[in-house]
Amino acid sequence: MTKPIDKAAAHKRSQMMAGLRKQHLESFKETQLHVKAQNSVRKMLKRSLKASPHTILQLAEETELSKSDVLWHVSAMVRYGTVIETGMDEDEEYYMYALAKGVR
């Protein structure tokens, strides 16, 4: 059973968040830009993984990102269930990654 929404408390929280955004406007804008850049990279990685499973090296080559950046993003995507490990490549050297079922 869901709890009824306390409109007064929700409004107070909304006002508090608006005040904090104004107070920390510069860091808020920087954070928004950082999140936007992350989302853009992850969209590129998803597009590549949609076609077929890839290794970190293959993703780095295809997206022209550094291997360390790709590893960082893929690790986060695995942690949050967007990407799954699908086994090893044919040489049994590198893990292969694919989009999890239901991810677009």
Pair 77, 20: CB distance under 8 Å: no
Summarize the confidence of residues 12-22 as an average pLDDT. Answer: 91
pLDDT in tens, 34-52: 999 999 999 999 999 999 9
* CATH code reported for the domain at 7-99: 1.10.10.10
pLDDT in tens, 69-86: 999 999 999 999 999 999
Query: What pLDDT was estimated at residue 3?
Result: 73
Q: Please give the model's pTM, rounded to 2 decimal places.
A: 0.74
Query: What pLDDT was estimated at residue 1?
Result: 61
* Better-predicted residue by pLDDT, 58 or 103: 58
Domain range annotation of the chain:
7-99
Query: What pLDDT was estimated at residue 103?
Result: 83
DSSP the chain: -PPPP-HHHHHHHHHHHHHHHHHTHHHHHHHHHHHHHHHHHHHHHHHHHHHS-B-HHHHHHHHT--HHHHHHHHHHHHHTTSEEEEEE-TTSSSEEEEEPTT--
Query: What pLDDT was estimated at residue 71?
Result: 97
